[in-house]
Amino acid sequence: MRIAVLGTGEVGRRLATALVSLGHRVTMGSRTADNAEAVKWAEEYGGGHGTFADAAAPAELVVNATGGLVSLAVLESVGADALRGKVLVDVSNALDFSEGFPPKVVTPDGGSVAEQLQRAFPEVRVVKTLNTMTNTVMVEPGRVPGHHNVFLGGDDEDAKAVVAELLGSFGWAADRIVDLGDLTSARATEQLIQLWLRLYGVLGTGDFNFSVVTASAALPSPASAAP
């Protein structure tokens, strides 16, 4: 699959590297075509690099790994035509570090980054996932022993099925993937990062995750990920 990863930070590089290792054709997008981090990554892992628009235009699936405070501007620089009909995997959190750590979590328009992007680009199929954990656990869930979960939400069931399959390729078993329903669920998962940040400060490591444990039956998994 041709995949664009927008963002050259640690999260973007981690996801892009994992996707290349799975055989996908990955292009990393940044503000400028000659971004040093993107060039270095492309040389090391054999992917492509270019502007946000260069990466997104030919892609079949787009990953938004930019900071949530700038995500809308990034997608606006790509343009609606280049994104129309595509699945957009949004892993962003809108974190404001202006007053130090822990950062404030910004809620665009009282909702979430994912909803803000969906409103701005109604023909894009936005799916929120992976934003409740550190980037190493995103692509290697076995780093954390035992049962723990990844959440996803979106308004398009087919798009969620595509993303559930992608999560499975990272090693997330079907019973660990919790479909929270429509995209308003991103309000909850984006706010959950506040607890994650507090735990990180206490534990001193990002190698942990959230586990949902029920008294009886297991939580339902996306239909596409069911055995």
Q: What is the pLDDT of residues 2-49, one digit of tens each?
A: 999 999 999 999 999 999 999 999 999 999 999 999 999 999 999 999
Q: Which of 8-12, 148-152, 207-211, 215-219 has the lowest mean pLDDT?
A: 215-219
In a domain, 98, yes or no: yes
User: In the chain, what is the straight-line distance between the N-terminal and C-terminal CA atoms, in Å?
Assistant: 23
Q: For residues 43 and 161, give the distance between their C-alpha atoms in angstroms, rounded to a whole number.
A: 32
Name the DSSP letter for residue 12: H
Element (H, E) at 78: helix 71-78
Which residue type occupies 153? G
Could you tell me if residue 34 is inside a domain?
no
Whose structure tokens read 């995949």?
Answer: 3
Peptide bond into 102 cis (omega under 30): yes
In a domain? residue 176: yes
9: amino acid identity, one letter: G
165 part of a folded domain: yes
122: which 2 tokens?
Answer: 């109604």
Condensed to tens digits (0 to 9), the pLDDT of residues 165-213 reads 999 999 999 999 999 999 999 999 999 999 999 999 999 999 999 999 9
Greater model confidence, 190 or 101: 190
Mean pLDDT of all residues in 48-54: 97
Identify whether 60 is part of a domain: no
Domain presence at residue 42: no
Q: Are 115 and 90 in contact (CB under 8 A)?
A: no
Q: What is the CATH number of the domain that holds 202?
A: 3.40.50.720
Q: Give a yes or no: residue 198 inside a domain.
A: yes
Structural domain count of the chain? 1
**Which pLDDT does position 104 carry in this prediction?**
85
**Spatial CB neighbours of 15, under 8 Å, sequence gap ≥ 6:** 5, 63, 65, 91, 135, 138, 139
Residue that has been written with the tokens 């809620």 in this structure? 107
Coil/strand/helix, residue 200? helix
Residues 6+ apart with CB under 8 A from 4: 26, 27, 28, 29, 55, 56, 58, 59, 61, 62, 63
Residue 81 lies in a domain: yes
With left for phi above 0 and alpha for psi between -120 and 50, is residue 23 left, alpha or beta?
left
DSSP 219: P
Domain carrying residue 194 = 66-225
